[in-house]
Chain A
Amino acid sequence: MVLSANDKANVKAAFGKIGGQAEEYGAETLERMFATYPQTKTYFPHFDLGKGSAQVKGHGKKVAAALVEAANNIDDIAGALSKLSDLHAQKLRVDPVNFKLLGQCFLVVVASRNPSLLTPEVHASLDKFLCAVGTVLTAKYR
């Protein structure tokens, strides 16, 4: 799966429109993921996962920042996320299936907060982008 020039343009434009709200998008993505896929909570036994949790907000901010970084370096996502990829392989070891779940929730957040942004074409590009990010983050697992 390859990101076309169109995909890259769509993704950059989408994150441009999301702008400073990326942190909120990140936090809500996690909130939805924990509510919809409770098994994802197993990676956060040390977190308060209650509504409005500062830890979830803080972590959502980190996740969003990584997605923004990947979008800003979309020609070399592997390079941009190399350290994060190491972290996931060596320390976090989040099972690969979970990246798809996070991706689904991110798309739901975009759809609910900014439906006009998520045209079918942008939806396709963002879905591919999120897949690519997941692939990079799990690339060094074995």
Chain B
Amino acid sequence: MVHWSAEEKQLIASVWGKVSMEECGAEALARLLIVYPWTQRFFDNFGNLSSPTAIIGNPKVRAHGKKVLTSFGEAIKNLDNLKGTYSKLSELHCEKLHVDPENFRLLGDILVIVLASHLGRDFSPVCQAAWQKLVGVVAHTLAHRYH
């Protein structure tokens, strides 16, 4: 089980409290599809993904980004039981969605960049460290039930 120091928990919570998860989720997913275009393979039914502008404005992308980040919020509330929290989601991503776990790592890195762009100087190195640890653990946990 992952150990979270009191400082890490505090850094994670304070960032979460300062940003709009809906905005960040939409932006993170859009950037994932733009920066790593091969990730579009999972979203054939999302309509127009033909350009960065189309992706950013795409309502399905925004909605799905929000959904993903809302789920992130669950992780933050359950840092001491991530495996339990994400057990079903992990099975879903393996058995139904067939998503290579590498994609979770890519999205996590992009999320950190999005947070940095929203928080500016407030996104200190120790803040980044705590959040990179979080996104890494979430990615690992989502892959945990893969078979």
Contacts and interface: CB of A to CB of B under 8 A. Distances in A.
Contacts of A31: 125
Contacts of B117: 111-112, 115, 118
Contact of A36 (B34, B52, B55, B128): B128
B120 A121 contact: no
10 contacts: A28-B125, A35-B128, A104-B112, A107-B113, A108-B116, A109-B116, A115-B117, A120-B31, A120-B35, A127-B35
A105 B129 CA distance: 10
Contacts of B34: 120-121, 123-124
Contacts of B24: none
B35 A124 contact: yes
Interface residues on A, range: 20 to 34
In the A-B complex, the 3 residue pairs with the smallest Cβ-Cβ separation, listed nearest first, are A115-B117, A111-B116, A111-B117
Interface in A36-68: 36-37
Interface string B129-145: 10010000000000000
Interface string B53-85: 001100000000000000000000000000000
